[in-house]
Amino acid sequence: MIAYLIVAAVLPAFISANLAIIPCPGLAGVAPAALRIPGCDVMPCHVGHVMPNHGHSFRYETDFDSHFASETLTLRATETAFGVETELNLSEEDRNACNGLIGASCPVQAHQRLTHGTTIEGEGDFHDGIPVQIRVEISDDDHICMCTLINLIVH
C-alpha cells in the first residue's frame, strides 16, 4: 500500500501536461499540435538559473506536422525580455533540429507528424521573477515548419 502511495506522489513529476499553444504572430498555420515542458502545467512556466550569472534553461518537447518534405531542419530560438529581443546562441548540435527529433530522423516527409525536444538555455542573467518570452522556430531550407512562443518567469 505504501508503494502505491509513493508511486502516486512521484508519478506526476514525470508527466508533462500539454500547454496552451501561443502561435507566433502571422504564423498560426505552423503552430505546433502540442507543447510540453516538464514541471509546467500552465504558462508562464517558472524556471531558474543554470548557474549564478549564467542564464536559465528549460527542456521542451513539441509535436508538429512537417508541411513539406525536407532533408534538414534548423532550430532557431530568440528571447525577449524588457522589450529587447536577443537571438539565443544554440550549439551546432542543437541548431540541427534533426538531432532533437524523437522517434524520427531526417529526411522528413511532407505531412509527417514529428516530435522535437531539446533544452534551451537563455542568455540573460535574469532573476527575481522576470517575465521572458522565448520564440522557438524550426525551419527547413525554404519554409518555417513550426513556430511557437513560450512564456517564462525566471527566478
pLDDT at 80: 94
pLDDT digits (tens, 9 = 90+) for 54-90: 567 899 999 999 989 999 999 999 999 999 999 999 9
Single out the residue of 12, 115, 5 nearest to residue 59, CA to CA: 115
3-state helix, strand, coil in the chain (%, to 5): 15, 45, 40
In terms of DSSP bridges, do strands 84-87 and 74-81 run parallel, antiparallel, or are they unpaired?
Answer: antiparallel
Grid coordinates given for 18: 500539454
Question: What is the pTM (predicted TM-score) of this model?
Answer: 0.84
CA dihedral 107, 109, 110, 114 (to 10 degrees): -80
Q: What CATH number is given for 2-154 in this structure?
A: 2.60.40.770
Delimit the domains of the chain by residue range.
2-154
- pLDDT tens per residue, range 78-135: 999 999 999 999 999 999 999 999 999 999 999 999 999 999 988 766 667 889 999 9
Instruction: Report the pLDDT value the prediction gives residue 75, as an integer from 0 to 100.
Output: 98
Cell of 54: 549564467
